[in-house]
Structure 1
Amino acid sequence: MADKAASRAKFEGVFAAIREELLQHFAGEGMPVEAVEWYRKNLDYNVPGGKLNRGISVVDTVEILKGSALTEDEYFKAAVLGWCIELLQAFFLVSDDIMDSSITRRSQPCWYRLPEIGMIAINDSFILEAAIYQLLKTHFRSEKFYVDLLELFHETTYQTEMGQLVDLITAPEDHVDLNKFSLDRHRSIVIYKTAYYSFYLPVACALHLLNIPESYTASGVTQKPYEISKSILLPLGEYFQIQDDFLDYSAPSEQLGKIGTDIIDNKCSWVINTALLLCSKPSTPGGAEMRKVLDENYGRKDAQCEARVKKVYETLDITKVYGEYEERVVGELKAKIGGIVETEGGLKREVFESFLGKIYKRSK
C-alpha cells in the first residue's frame, strides 16, 4: 500500500509541474488574471481527483517493457503521456456529466453543477482536451513518434465519441425503448466508449515512447505488439465496463463515490441487457411478467420504479450471473495473456497481468 501511495504521489508531482506549464502558456497568450485562475480551478477540480489508473499505467507499462528503473527524464515523459490520458478522461467526464444530467462525480458535485460554473463547463471541457495537444507539442515535437502520438490521441478520441453517440441514441433519457437494447449493442458501445481510451491507449503510448514498431521479428517469431495489445485490452476494457455497470446497481453510493443512476437514466447497461435476456428464456419462471415490469419501470425518474427494477434484478439473481461471468472472462483473459510470446525489447505478459490485477474483484 505504501508503494502504491508513493507511486501516486510521484505521479501527482508531475501534474503540479505540467499544470504550471499550462498556466504559464495560458497567461503568456495574454489571458486576463481571472481567466488564468478559472483555468487553474478547472484543472485542479477535474483532472487529478480520480484513481489515476489510466495515467499511472503508462509509467508502469514503460517500466515493465524496459525491464529496469526509468531515468528521471524517462519517468517524466511517461508521466506526461499519462497525464495527457487523464486530461482526456477529464474532458470526457465533464462533458458526459452534462449530457447525463449527473449529480456527483468522485464524491463531489459535478463541475457544471457548481453555481458559478454552469454551462461554461462545456468550454472548460474543450480546454481540457486542447491541453493534451499543447503538452504533446511541448514535450514530444522533436521525437520521431510525435505524429504517431497525435494520431493515436485523435483516433482514440474519435472512437470514444463514436461509442458515446451510439450510447446516447440507443438509450435517450426521455424515450425508453428496451427493444433497442441487446448485449451485442452494449458490447459495441463499451468497446468504443471505454475500452480504447481506458485500456489500449496507455499501452500504445508506452509502446510509442519506447519506439517499439508496429511489427518486428525476434528469435524467428513475428510479433505485432499493437495488434496483440488490442486483442487483449479491448476485451479487458469490456470486462471493466460490465463490472462498472454491475457496481452502479450493487454498490452503495458512499463506496462507489457517486450515486448510481443507470436505471433511472435509461442506461444501456450490462445489467438491464442481461435481465432482458434472462426474461426472454422459456426456462425463466415468470419471465414475461418480469419483462413487463422492466418495460413499465426502467428509465423512469421515480424511486419506486427504480425499486421495482431492482427487485426484478434480485429475483433473477443478477449478482450470481455476474459472478459467473467474471470468473469466465477472467479465465479467458488469463489464457490470452499466457499465450504471448515474450521477446527481448518486445511485449511482456506482466503488462497485461498488471491491468487485470488492478480491476479484478474491485469494489468501486
Structure 2
Amino acid sequence: MCPPHPLFSRFQDKGTSNGTQSKKALLSDPQLFDTQFDELVTELTERDIADPALTDALNRLREVLLYNAPGGKKNEVQRALLVGWCIELLQAFFLVADDIMDASVTRRGQPCWYKKEGVGLEAINDSFLLEAAIYRLLRRHCREQPYYLHLLELFMETSFQTELGQALDLMTAPPGQINLSRFTMERYKAIVKYKTAFYSFYLPVAAAMYMAGINSEVEHNNAKHILLEMGEFFQIQDDYLDCYGDPAVTGKIGTDIQDNKCSWLVQRAELEACYARHDEASVQRVKALYSTLQMEDLYHRHEEDSYRRLQELIARHAQNLPHSVFLNFAKKIYKRNK
C-alpha cells in the first residue's frame, strides 16, 4: 500500500490525545480504516440515543452494519476515514438491495444478507438503515465544514444515478422474459456508467477533491472522464469473472447467465434457447459458446487495450491533478481476479 498522497494528507486522524494519536500513527492505512469503523458502529448504535424503546432496532442496525459494510475493496483507504466509510456504507446499501433483486446467493464469501436465517425481506428496510447512517455521520462530523454541502449533493446525486442504472439493468432483463434484442452495446454502456462507474470510482475521488478544496467544475469533469472509463473497465472485468472467476476467490457465485443479465460477454446468436435458463445444461451450453467465440482471449485483449486507454486519459485529463491518484486506482483493478 502506497503512503497517502499529499492531496489527502489533511484528512489524517488527529486522535483525541497524544497517546491515541501515537498509537494510530503506528497503524497501516487499512488498519486505521478498520479501527475507524469500530468507532462509527459504536457511535451509530450507542451514543446519544436516549430512548430505550429503540434498543432492539439499534441492535439490528449494529448487526446489519457488521455483516454488510466490511469486506469491500477499500479503494478509498487513502482518503478521509469517515467519508471512506460513508462510501462503503453506500455500497453496502446498494448491494443488500441488489442481491434481493437478483436473487443472489453469496456476497463476499458469505450468504447474502437476505439469505441469512431470520432476515429474509426485512433486509429491504435494513438497506434503508445503511443509507440513513451515511447522512447521520456526515451531519455529525462534516456539518461545519465548507465542503459539507458538496458532499451531501455528491452522495445524493450518486445514489440517484446508481438507482437509474439499476432501473435500466432491471428493465433490460426482466425475470422470465428473454429478449436479447435489448442487449445492445449502447444499453450496456449506459447501465455500466450509471449503475457502477459513478459510485465505485467517481464518488470517492470527487469526495476527496471537495474535501481538499478542489471545487472547479473543469477539474471534476477531467476526473470524471478518467474514472467513468475506469468504471466501464471494472464492470467488464466483473462480467468476465462472473463466468470464469473462481467463487473461492471472488467470494460469490456467478449468475449472470441464469439471471438474463446484459453482460459484456453476451452474443445474441444461438443464445435464445439457452440464455436466462437455470438448468446447468443450458448454462454450460452458453459457456461452451463463449469458448467457441474465444471470449477469454477477446477479454484479455480488451483488458490490455482498456489499461492503455486509461493511461492516455490520465495523461490528458489529469494535468492539474495528481496522476498517482488515478494510476493507483488503475493498478488496483488491472488483471484483478476478484
TM-score by length of 2: 0.90
Which string of whole-angstrom CA distances, capped at 9 and with x for unpartnered residues, describes residues 57-88 of structure 1? 5x1xxxxxxxxxxxxxxxxxx11000000000
Match of 1:284 in 2: none
Match of residue 67 from structure 2 = 45
Aligned to 1:125: 127
* Cα contact 2:162–2:195 (8 A) shared by 1: yes
Q: Counterpart in 2 of 1:56?
A: 77
Give unmatched runs, 5+ long, in structure 2: 5-26
Are 1:87 and 2:108 counterparts?
Answer: no
Secondary structure of the structure 1 residue equivalent to 2:208 = helix
Contact 1:160–1:196, Cα closer than 8 Å, also in 2: yes
Give the one of 279, 291, 303 matched to 1:314. 291
Which residue in 2 is equivalent to 1:176? Answer: 178
Cα–Cα, structure 1 residues 94 and 185, in superposed 2: closer, same or farther, change >3 Å? same
Q: Are the equivalent residues in 1 in contact too, given 2:275–2:286 (CA < 8 A)?
A: yes
Tell me the distance in 1 between the aligned counterparts of 2:47 and 2:122: 21
Pairing partner for 1:352 from 321, 326, 335: 326
Instruction: Calculate the aligned-residue CA RMSD, in Å.
Output: 1.8
State the partner residue of 1:220.
none
More moved, 24-33 vs 179-188: 24-33
Runs of 5+ consecutive residues of structure 1 not aligned to the other structure: 60-77, 216-223, 277-290
State the 1:341 CA deviation. 5.7
How many Å separate the matches in 2 of 1:342 and 1:181?
Answer: 37
- C-alpha contact 2:222 2:318 (8 A) present in aligned 1: no
1:37-62 deviations in whole A, cap 9, x for unaligned? 21111100000122222x425x1xxx
Aligned-partner SS, 2:77? helix
Give the structure 1 partner of residue 220 of structure 2: 226
Residue in 1 that maps onto 2:142: 140
TM-score (norm 1): 0.83
Matched with 1:244 is: 238
Contact 1:26 1:36 in 2 (8 A): no
For residue 33 of structure 1, report the CA deviation from its aligned partner. 2.6
Identity %: 47
1:100 aligns with 2:121: no
> Within the alignment, does 1:254 sit opposite 2:248 as a pair?
yes
Matches within 5 A, 1:151-170: 151-170=153-172
Q: Is the 8 A contact 1:14 1:79 kept in 2?
A: yes
d(CA) in 1 for partners of 2:43, 2:97:
24
**Equivalent AA in structure 2 for residue 15 of structure 1:** F
Instruction: Name the CA shift for 1:34/1:299 in 2 (closer, same or farther; >3 Å).
Output: same
What number of residue pairs does the alignment pair up?
A: 316
SS in 2 for 1:339: helix
Alpha-carbon distance between aligned partners in 2 of 1:249 and 1:200, rounded to the nearest angstrom:
26
Tell me whether 1:36 sits opposite 2:58 in the alignment: yes
Counterpart of 2:113 (choices 104, 111, 114) is 111
Answering whether residue 261 of structure 2 is matched by residue 267 of structure 1, we say yes
1:11-30 superposed Cα distances (whole Å, 9 cap, x missing partner)? 11111111111112573354
Question: Is the partner of 2:272 in helix, strand or coil?
Answer: helix
Contact preservation (8 Å) 1:340, 1:349: no
- Structure 1 stretch displaced more, 13-22 or 332-341: 332-341
**Deviation at residue 211 of structure 1 after TM alignment:** 1.2
Q: Residue in 1 aligned with 2:213?
A: 211
CA contact (8 A) 1:340 1:348 kept: no
**Where does residue 11 of structure 2 map in the other structure?**
none
Name the amino acid aligned to 1:244: D
Select between 131-140 and 251-260 the one with higher mean Cα deviation: 251-260
Q: Is the CA contact 1:156–1:197 (under 8 Å) kept in the aligned structure 2?
A: yes
- 151-160 or 245-254, larger mean C-alpha shift: 245-254
CA distance in 1 between partners of 2:43 and 2:194 (Å): 32
- Cα deviation per residue 1:146-205 (whole Å; 9 max; x = unaligned)? 111111000000000000000000011211110110111110000000000000000010
- The 1:341/1:266 distance shift into structure 2, 3 A limit, reads closer
Who is 2:195 aligned against? 193
SS in structure 2 of the partner of residue 313 of structure 1? helix
Give the deviation of 1:251 after TM superposition.
1.1
Aligned residue in 1 for 2:22: none
What is the Cα deviation at residue 328 of structure 1? 1.1
